[in-house]
Amino acid sequence: MRLDDVVRISFSTATDKKLRFLLNLVGILIGCAAVGGLISVTDGMRQDISDQIMGFGPNVINVYSSNEGYRTPVQLDWRDMRIIESIDGVENVTPMNFGGTCAYKVQGQFYYTSVTGVSEQYFLISGAWELLEGRYFTRNDKGVAVVTKALVQPFGVDEPLYEIGDRLTVTYMRGGEEHQYTFRIVGIITDSASGIGSQSSASMYIPMSSFEQMYETEGVIHLIKLCTFEINQVPEVAEAIEETLGYVNVWTMDMSMENLNSVLNTMNAVLGGIAGLSLIVAGVGIINTMTVSIMERTKEIGTMKALGAKSMDIMKMVMSEAILTGVVGGIIGALVGFGLSYIISHFTEVPSATSPTLGVLIVGFAMITCVLSGLHPAWRASNMNPVEALRHE
């Protein structure tokens, strides 16, 4: 039996037994749609978070104190920052202090923002910000602030609450008591945290001198952020900082990406496994329906073998039906999965990423599932005794 005859018979069987073919198709389609949708969303999250992390600079290093092995807490100070500045390969350095949440009141309504103390070099190091209006502060600026768009126009507010040059008075806690500090807004930047699936957070960045005055930090620095001249200098500079200071830990963008990939790979495995279970269930359904189909066509198969069809020809015929189910179900399932991921992304702001490669993998996975599911029915059909098959009623 020629190959084109095998394919023609398979197509003819699929069109004649539409309900059976449709049931097999639906099972594979659902599994492929689940795999395609879940993996697309996970890959989209990976790409979005990766872009955000890399937006802060691949040559950026964060340095923070390590209290491991020390009886008393070790804290960073200005002396440590000067030492880091003197290390070869370091281009820019900024201290960073975090002050928690402050409140500001506009027209009787309270809003909240985080406050961070930095130097003017912070905006040179962190390339993730886009200056929308105004300017960044300079070394000589006092009592000024660069704020995010979410601060001047919180979610749900139609018009901006502040403009460049306006005074912003915040209320904060220090030593268990409530205090106030007034800043002049000199710059508005893009929101600091896109927060997947959530609204952006309001943030304000102020000079270290203002932060120290607000919180009386006495020279303590929470974190030191720096950047190197070249990306390939990051490992060398990070090692030099650890060796020179001894009581610090360093964090690079590569470390962030490694952790991110580890988490998302685990998520992919779990979600892919859950979706894969539906393909297994679909495979069991294919085995059942194809086995019933073989029993229904026993006499037909016996006639074909009596007319000279070989056992391999019968196996090819049955397997081609399984492959046809896998190809059609895989293609439709991949398209449905990609469509679902787009809908999820559109309505929830969860990013998704589809690709032809993922589509090919889904179709291939569907074909493998159908082929494995059809092996036993095909083997059973190919080993029928033609005499016994012709006697079957």
Are the C-beta atoms of 266 and 351 separated by less than 8 Å?
Answer: no
Structure confidence at residue 128 (pLDDT): 62
Residues of the chain with pLDDT under 70: 1-18, 20, 50-57, 67-73, 127-128, 192-200, 272, 275, 278-279, 282, 286, 289-290, 293-297, 349, 386-393
Please report how many Cα atoms fall inside a 13 Å half-sphere around the Cα of residue 208, on the Cβ side: 20
| DSSP state string for 173-203 | EETTEEEEEEEEEEEEE--S---TTSPPPPE
Predicted confidence at residue 119, as pLDDT, reads 94
> Residue 199: what pLDDT?
42
Structure-block tokens of residue 171: 């209320």
pLDDT for position 80: 92
Look at strands 60-65 and 144-148 and give their pairing.
Answer: unpaired
- Tell me whether residue 153 is exposed, middle or buried, using C-beta atoms within 10 angstroms of its C-beta: 0 to 12, 13 to 18, 19 or more: middle
Q: What is the pLDDT of residue 251?
A: 87
- Give the pLDDT confidence of 115-153 residue by residue, as tens digits: 999 999 998 887 667 889 999 999 999 999 999 999 999
Residue 9's pLDDT is: 61
